[in-house]
Structure 1
Amino acid sequence: MGHPLSIRLDDDTQTTLEDAAKSRGIGLATYVRELAANEARRLRRERIRAQSRAVGAFVASSPEGQSFYADWGTPTTDGEPR
C-alpha cells in the first residue's frame, strides 16, 4: 500500500481533472494516482535510457570497449558472427 499524499489544486485545475476523471468513470483521487504512476514510470524509463546512453558513449570512446565490440562481431541470421 502506498503513502497518502495531500495536494492543493486551484479551482480550474481541479475542475479540469475532475471532468477528465468523470469521463473515464473514475474518481479524482484514482485519476490523479494514475497520472502520478504513469509519470513515475516515464521518469524511470527516461533515467534508464540516459544511463544506457552514458554507457554506450563510454564504451564507444574506450579502446577496450571498441575492441570488445570488434571481437564480439555482429550476429547474422544463421547465428554466426560476421
Structure 2
Amino acid sequence: MTKIPQEILDEIAILEVQALKDGLADPEMKKNPAFLEKVRKFLQQNKQVTTAETPGMSELQKVAENEIPMFDGEH
C-alpha cells in the first residue's frame, strides 16, 4: 500500500472545508437538503457540535420559528 504524504492529505482536507464553505455561501446550495446533509456528516465526523452559544444559532432559531411552515400533526 502506498503511503500518502501528510501535506497532500492536509491540502485535500482544506479543499473539502473550502468547498463546504462555498456551498453554504451559495443561496441555492444552502437550501439543498442533500448538501446540508453532507455538511452535517462532515461536522459529525470531525466531532464538531453546535450549541445555543454558537454564533448564528439564535438567528437560525428565529428563522425556523417564524419562516418554516408547520405541517399537519406538528405542534
TM-score normalised by the chain length of structure 1:
0.35
Quick check: which has more Rg, 1 or 2? 1
TM-score normalised by the chain length of structure 2:
0.38
Relative to total residues, which structure has the larger helix share, 1 or 2? 1
